[in-house]
Amino acid sequence: MAETALHTPSPAVTREVFVAELRRLLPADGLIHEEAELRAYECDGLSAFRELPWAVALPRTEEEVVALLQTCHRLRVPVVPRGAGTGLSGGALPHPQGLVLSLARLNRILALDPFARTATVQPGVRNLAISEAAAPYGLYYAPDPSSQIACTLGGNVAENSGGVHCLKYGLTVHNVLRVRGYTAAGEPVVFGSLAPDAPGYDLLALAIGSEGMLAVVTEITVKLLPRPQTARCILAAFDSVRAAGEAVAAIIAEGIIPAGLEMMDQGATIAAEDFVHAGYPLEAAAVLLCESDGTPEEVEEEIARMGAVLERCGATEWRVSRDEEERLRFWAGRKAAFPAAGRVSPDYYCMDGTIPRKALGEMLEAIAEMEREYGLRCLNVFHAGDGNLHPLILFDANQPGEWERAEAFGADILELSVRLGGTVTGEHGVGVEKINQMCVQFSPVELEAFFQVKAAFDPAGILNPGKAIPTLHRCAEYGRMRVSRGKLPFAELPRF
């Protein structure tokens, strides 16, 4: 179990008193406080960090949410909102003296208006459920994280989640019109509007991607888009990762914004092929998936243009999906890349930096070097179109020291992302995981400004405290640690 060092105002009550208060607010099946049952909530998708909360509340109504927030605010008990728990940065990691507020039972689609092309849903609705409900009207919700069968819209809003189609169709922030919710003190708030804009500051933009630290979201209205008439996907192979990276830049330079543009290196291709039999070329150093969608004429035109670019850029092989079944098979491998990594290694650690596309080759060479330095393998999958990398570092948590090495490996990748002009997280959030790297990306005054933004919404500091924004004290500690790591005794010896 990793040490999480959460800092917060300390509760004004004991656990027992707190649980007794909650019992008055919720029916018996809406409250969990026995250790055995609490275990199910001890972590999110990043299982290296675990913590047991005081209790988990599972409200069914907004009134219960408000009552819970007011009680926690009065008793100064930290509140950690939670959706499906698929987050990959420890955003929903419990606070050891706090409440986990699960929004999973607020799971109704409240309205779907095909004429206005909007859906209004509760936060516990799963991402894919919206597109399923909209399908009869020829509409869908565009952001499609690979976790879409499980993750909730509340979680998507909190993380500003993306998907393989966000190069063309945008992230959560581009597809949410309005959220309703409550501040940590339990006051109702509305951010955004069903009109094209809203008066005042863009509080919706702040709320999206705020990792559950600014408000608890209880209702979300999303934009629905008309489903493209057709889509086809090119699978292209390259004999070097650099050539594949150059092809990505060349497609964009050609004036094309593909519906999807993804890259996998050989390790990831082999692992995925073994798992879902997508038909990937196994001898290729890198595989690109380039999707085009639109009218049949449009798709044909774009596929031909992309094919020409791929050829010019030295693709050793490329083929176009013949039918919908094959297109889905091409994607199945990419979408299953994480579980595929889970099959070839006892554990994997998924990174999420974003870099300017032109730095892709440099980054990959550096990662290959780090594999040697840390003695761990890394599979690489990328949302190549927007420079968002998901290196999957393979390790075995049961081998002493391997997790620590994986963590240091990951930190190196993230810090290199910043040096290359990018960011430590493209879509998974900072959570507890990347909090140290925030010290590298932001200056002390910028971190101070983030704390002020947090305080503007939550002056008492009750909502998901200790996540996403490091204290200056923590950054100072981290700075010292990184320096000493650089001066390890016997630094020249391999560290594995």
Partner 1 sequence: MNAIVDRLREQVLAACGRRRLEIRGGGSKSWYGAPDPDAEPLEVGLLSGIIRYEPSELVLTAYGGTPLREVEALLARHGQWLPFSPPHFADSATIGGAVAAGLSGPTRWGHGALRDYVLGVRVLDGQGRVLRFGGEVMKNVAGYDVARLFAGSLGTLGVILEVSLKVLPLPPATLTLRFACSQDEAIERLNRWAGQPLPLSASVWWQGEMTLRLAGARAAVEAAAARLGGEVLPEAAAQRFWEEVREQRLPVWNLHEGEVLWRLALPPTTPAWADAEDALVEWGGGLRWLRRPVGDDSWFERARAVGGHAVRWRGARAGERVFAPRGAAERAIEERLKAAFDPDGVFARRLPLE
Ligand X SMILES: Cc1cc2nc3c(=O)[nH]c(=O)nc-3n(C[C@H](O)[C@H](O)[C@H](O)COP(=O)(O)OP(=O)(O)OC[C@H]3O[C@@H](n4cnc5c(N)ncnc54)[C@H](O)[C@@H]3O)c2cc1C
**Binding-site member from 6, 43, 67, 151 for ligand X (CB under 6 A):** 151
Report the nearest approach of ligand X to the CB of residue 417 (Å).
16
**Binding-site member from 203, 303, 310, 340 for partner 1 (CB under 8 A):** 203
Stretch in the footprint of ligand X (CB under 6 A) among 68-76, 88-96, 300-308, 474-482: 88-96
Quick one: what does residue 348 bind among partner 1, ligand X, none, with the CB cut-off 5 to 8 Å set by partner type?
none
Report the nearest approach of partner 1 to the CB of residue 223 (Å).
10
Q: Which is nearer to ligand X, 320 or 393 (CB)?
A: 393
User: Which residues are 79's β-sheet partners?
Assistant: 99, 463
Whether residue 145 contacts residue 163, with contact meaning beta carbons closer than 8 Å, is answered with yes
By the rule CB under 8 A, 434 interacts with partner 1: yes
DSSP class of residue 34 equals S
Whether residue 409 contacts residue 351, with contact meaning beta carbons closer than 8 Å, is answered with no
**Binding-site member from 139, 271, 276, 309 for partner 1 (CB under 8 A):** 139
Stretch in the footprint of partner 1 (CB under 8 A) among 25-33, 123-131, 318-326, 386-394: 386-394
By the rule CB under 6 A, 428 interacts with ligand X: yes
Tell me the residue type at 387. G
Stretch in the footprint of ligand X (CB under 6 A) among 49-57, 210-218, 305-313, 481-489: 210-218
Calpha distance 13→23 (Å, rounded) = 15
**Binding-site member from 15, 242, 319, 358 for partner 1 (CB under 8 A):** 358
Q: Residues 309, 380, 271, 338: what is their CA dihedral angle, to the nearest 10 degrees?
A: -110
Calpha distance 5→478 (Å, rounded) = 13
Q: Which residue has the tokens 């595989």?
A: 287
34-55 in b/e burial notation, b at 16+ Cβ within 10 A? eeeebeebbbbbbebbbbebbb
By the rule CB under 8 A, 117 interacts with partner 1: yes
Quick one: what does residue 1 bind among partner 1, ligand X, none, with the CB cut-off 5 to 8 Å set by partner type?
none
State the angle between helix axes of 241-253 and 296-312 in degrees (0 to 180), rounded to the nearest 10: 130
Q: Which two tokens stand for residue 6?
A: 């959460």
Site for ligand X in 12-71 (CB under 6 A): 44-45
By the rule CB under 6 A, 271 interacts with ligand X: no
Q: Which residues contact 352 (CB under 8 A, 6 or more apart)?
A: 88, 89, 388, 389, 390, 424, 425, 426, 427, 428, 434
By the rule CB under 6 A, 211 interacts with ligand X: yes
Quick one: what does residue 300 bind among ligand X, partner 1, none, with the CB cut-off 5 to 8 Å set by partner type?
partner 1
By the rule CB under 6 A, 441 interacts with ligand X: no
Quick one: what does residue 174 bind among partner 1, ligand X, none, with the CB cut-off 5 to 8 Å set by partner type?
partner 1
Stretch in the footprint of partner 1 (CB under 8 A) among 26-34, 115-123, 342-350, 361-369: 115-123
Calpha distance 218→121 (Å, rounded) = 9
By the rule CB under 6 A, 123 interacts with ligand X: yes
Q: Which is nearer to ligand X, 102 or 118 (CB)?
A: 102
Quick one: what does residue 53 bind among ligand X, partner 1, none, with the CB cut-off 5 to 8 Å set by partner type?
none
Calpha distance 231→4 (Å, rounded) = 45
Q: Could you give the C-alpha distances from 32 to 81, 333, 336, 436, 469, in angstroms and in order?
A: 15, 38, 33, 32, 29
Calpha distance 259→279 (Å, rounded) = 21
Sign of the C-alpha dihedral, residues 19, 20, 26, 28?
Answer: positive
Stretch in the footprint of ligand X (CB under 6 A) among 29-37, 149-157, 224-232, 439-447: 149-157
**Binding-site member from 123, 162, 245, 260 for partner 1 (CB under 8 A):** 162
**Binding-site member from 13, 26, 75, 189 for partner 1 (CB under 8 A):** 189
Sign of the C-alpha dihedral, residues 474, 370, 281, 297?
Answer: positive
**Binding-site member from 1, 28, 36, 445 for partner 1 (CB under 8 A):** 445
Q: What mask of x and - would describe binding to ligand X in positions 446 to 465, judged by CB under 6 A?
A: ------------------x-
Q: Which two tokens stand for residue 338?
A: 């994480």
By the rule CB under 6 A, 469 interacts with ligand X: no
Stretch in the footprint of partner 1 (CB under 8 A) among 20-28, 244-252, 393-401, 474-482: 244-252
By the rule CB under 6 A, 260 interacts with ligand X: no
Q: Residues 152, 158, 163, 167: what is their CA dihedral angle, to the nearest 10 degrees?
A: 150
Report the nearest approach of ligand X to the CB of residue 211 (Å).
4
Element (H, E) at 269: helix 266-276
Report the nearest approach of ligand X to the CB of residue 444 (Å).
24
Give me the residues that bind ligand X (CB under 6 A), please. Answer: 44-45, 80-88, 91-92, 103, 123, 145-147, 151-152, 154-156, 158-159, 161-163, 211-212, 216-217, 338, 427-428, 464
